[in-house]
Structure 1
Amino acid sequence: MEQRASRTVATSGVLIAVAVAVAGLLWAKWWPYQAKARGLATTHTWAGSGIFGAGGVHPGDAPSWSAATSFTSAYLQAIWKALVAALLISAALQTLVPRTWLLRVLNRRRPVSAAVAGGLAATPSMMCACCSAPVAVTLRRSGVPTAAVVAYWLGNPLLNPAVLVFLAFVAPWQWTLTRLVIGAAVVVGGSVLVARLTDRRVPEEVAEPQPAADEAPSVRRYLGALLRLTVTLVPEYLVVVMLIGAFRGWLFPLGGGLRSGLLVVVVAAIVGTLMVIPTGGEIPIVQGLVLAGLSLGAAGALLITLPAVSLPGVAMVGRTFGWRVTAATAAVVVAGGLAGAALLPVLGV
């Protein structure tokens, strides 16, 4: 009888968490994206310019307060709903879902299977690297293995089905194929590599308390977890976003005199990994740069590196993942960018 009651309580918590996730994603992602996809299917044109030009900033421009605030404002307008949804979902996973249930879904004997599970779990949420970071942090603190957590974090931006549809509507098919093939290789293969190089148990001081199987859902615990996540993750995230906005003229030099050659590919792979963009923000950026003469190799690198990781995302996950895992993940993304730079010119346009 007690076991049945415990299972009922745990199931109710899981169902509430699922309801929170579905409602949040429907509001922040699924409904807006289906509307955008329908519009792109008609126009086959991406409206608006890349976010790095917000406030009239150009490559090479000196850092300024205006550059910081204009970029941060444009970025937050694009992602605030997704960030709110991510915090709500993360708090739900932390306080409503028993750890054993999470591990049952994402813990696998082999790193490859764990990475596949993490990548598949990422596809419905369709978040950028920063917005998926709170959920990835909670998963890691719950004891989910490295391969699955890294695959979840990378899979959100790289395997986002909405972005793949957007690319198919507004860009050459070679772009979509490059993103899908290299993105899948980075999410699965890269996550396995990161796990093999860095894997170790989650430190006890990092692990978050999870609800016991017989612990009834509590609004107070949920709100407390939500507050802790907001206070510990959001301020540093906003500071790094503002710094990137202020220095973007120097950090993102592509589009000036740097357009072709091996150097531009390397710069695209590295700088793209550091920059932060909203979901789908790489599309107008790469389109604009290609029209301005950027090489296909650099475009292929940016298609992979711009959406994945980012400095603000690194700041949010670094303490929980550990800096070895975080650095290895960033290195895998740079390598994926170089692979994209090799593949796209071969496919041609």
Structure 2
Amino acid sequence: MTPYQSSKYLPQENTRKAWLLIGIFIVITALGLAYVKWWPYYGKALLAADQHSIGTSILTGIGADQAISIWQSASQYTITYFKAVWKAALLGMIVATLIQALLPANWLQKLLGRSTMKSTLIGGISSLPTMMCSCCAAPIAAGMHKQQVSIGASLAFWLGNPLLNPATLVFMSFVLSWKFTVLRVIFGLLVTFGISYVANRFAKPNKINELVASRSSTTSNEQHSLWTRWISSFGKMFLQVVPAYVISVFILGALQNVMFPVWANEGFLVIVLFAIVGTLFVIPTAAEIPIIQSFLSLGVHAGPAAALLITLPAVSLPSLLLVSRAFPPKVLTFVTLSVLTLGIVCGVIGQLWL
């Protein structure tokens, strides 16, 4: 083959290889989601329809007759939490590292790299089938942004996972009421697409380019084999993510009895308090439903419960820590304060309507 023929056919070979890698990524991700999310949620949806419940509240000791120690509270919550999320958390790290190891360089950037509403919409819509909690989706969103996906699209994927989860909306309609579901959809859309799109304004191109250049210089996709790149990426992510993740969950578990005061059940200040707590606290996917159901049974009014409807799933202290290496502090501060504010607004509306 002459040099001319080689240069002529090389792009086509690269294109076939690129689509093969993309196909492998899609198959692995779909199989993982089917095992971890889609099939279990089908069974849970049937349970919600039949019993109008998806289980008890994950919060231990709240409203109980006998108080438990801080150590018991922390250890019980940490064990219960990670029993619920470890498969999804592992899948999230696998998918995040496969994004960097498998997907061709600049492919995601061409698809989702612009700071436009279109990119934000695609990022948010792509979160619908993954149906993860904010912590499990955090590594994927961070990996997307490191692959030059825009801040808006990355955030929309991250926030859309817990807020617009189709399974959670189904559970909520059976367990709580259609009014809670309507509020969740409206404010979920505002957070996922509105806040994410506005967050693009906080992006500094020079900082993003430095981040991408740093990642490219350390991973060097072309110099190592696929499996070497993936194992290296997964090992680094595991060491960076797991310790802070476990410690932050343990601390929040220890403080849960202080953070959720059942004695306070109505008024604007209580809505603000529950919104702040919900923004910081961490829960598995759809755990806000039995938590809200439990609080309502204890006499907590609809306003504070509606504030938790948005703030509990959207972000948490652990999930913010997990994405802190990928997004500028100004972006995460804006997202956190925006979720808190919209949670308060949702609580006020819920107090008047529910």
Work out which of the residue numbers 98, 102, 110 in structure 1 matches 2:108: 102
Q: Does 1:302 align with 2:322?
A: no
Distance 1:6-1:180 versus aligned 2 partners, 3 A rule:
same
| Per-residue CA distance 1:246-266 (angstroms, 9 max, x = gap) | 12122222x1x1110011100
Residue 34 (structure 2) pairs with residue 26 (structure 1): yes
By relative contact order (CA 8 Å, sep 6+), the higher-ranking structure is 1
Give, as a single letter, the amino acid of the residue that structure 2 aligns with 1:50: S
Asked if residue 8 in structure 1 is aligned to residue 13 in structure 2, the reply is: no
Which residue of 249, 261, 276 corresponds with 2:257?
249
**1: CA distance, partners of 2:258 / 2:97:** 37
Q: Deviations over 1:68-108 (max 9, x none)?
A: 11110000010011011111111110100023221233233
Structure 1 residues 116 and 199, CA gap change in structure 2 (3 angstroms):
farther
For 1:68 and 1:119, how far apart are their aligned partners in 2? 33
Aligned length: 341
Q: Displacement, 1:45?
A: 2.5
What are the equivalent positions in structure 2 for 1:186-335 lying under 5 Å apart?
Answer: 186-200=191-205, 201-205=207-211, 207-209=214-216, 218-253=226-261, 255=262, 257-335=263-341
Distance in 2 (alpha carbons) for counterparts of 1:27 and 1:93:
20
- Structure 1 position 44 matched with structure 2 position 52: yes
What 5-or-longer segments of structure 2 have no aligned partner?
1-8
Match of 2:185 in 1: 180
In 2, Cα distance between equivalents of 1:271 and 1:205? 32
Cα offset, 1:339, TM superposition: 2.3
1:149 paired residue number:
154
**Counterpart in 2 of 1:68?**
74
Counterpart contact for 1:98–1:211, Cα < 8 Å: no
Q: Given residue 215 of structure 2, which amino acid in structure 1 is its aligned partner?
A: E
- Kindly tell me: are residues 217 and 344 of structure 1, through their superposed partners in 2, closer, same or farther at Cα, counting changes over 3 Å? farther
Amino acid at match of 2:169: L
Give the counterpart letter for 1:9 in structure 2: K
Identify if the C-alpha distance between structure 1 residues 298 and 30 changes in structure 2 by more than 3 Å, giving closer, same or farther.
Answer: same
Measured after TM superposition, the shift of residue 63 of structure 1 is: 6.4
Worse overlay, 190-199 or 202-211 = 202-211
- Deviation string for 1:38-93 (max 9, x for gaps)? 2222222233x21111xx35599686222211110000010011011111111110
State the alpha-carbon separation in 2 of the partners of residues 217 and 14 from structure 1: 16
Post-superposition offset of 1:114: 2.3
CA RMSD of aligned residues (A): 2.1
Q: Deviation of residue 217 (structure 1)?
A: 6.4
Q: Which amino acid aligns with 1:284?
A: P
**Alpha carbons 2:47, 2:54 under 8 Å: kept:** no
Matches within 5 A, 1:103-142: 103-108=109-114, 110=116, 112-142=117-147
- In structure 2, what residue type is equivalent to 1:226? F
CA distance in 1, matches of 2:101, 2:85: 24
Q: C-alpha separation between the residues in 1 aligned to 2:220 and 2:157?
A: 22
Aligned to 1:84: 90
- Report deviation, 1:120: 0.6
| Residues 217, 342 of structure 1: alpha-carbon distance in 2 compared, 3 angstrom cutoff | farther
After TM superposition, the score normalised by the length of structure 1 is 0.92
Partners of 1:198 and 1:107 in 2: CA distance: 12
| 2:105–2:147 Cα contact (<8 Å) kept | yes
1:35 equivalent to 2:43? Answer: yes
Identity percentage of aligned residues:
35
Displacement of 1:155 in angstroms is 0.6
Amino acid at match of 2:304: A
Instruction: Give the partner amino acid of 1:51.
Output: I
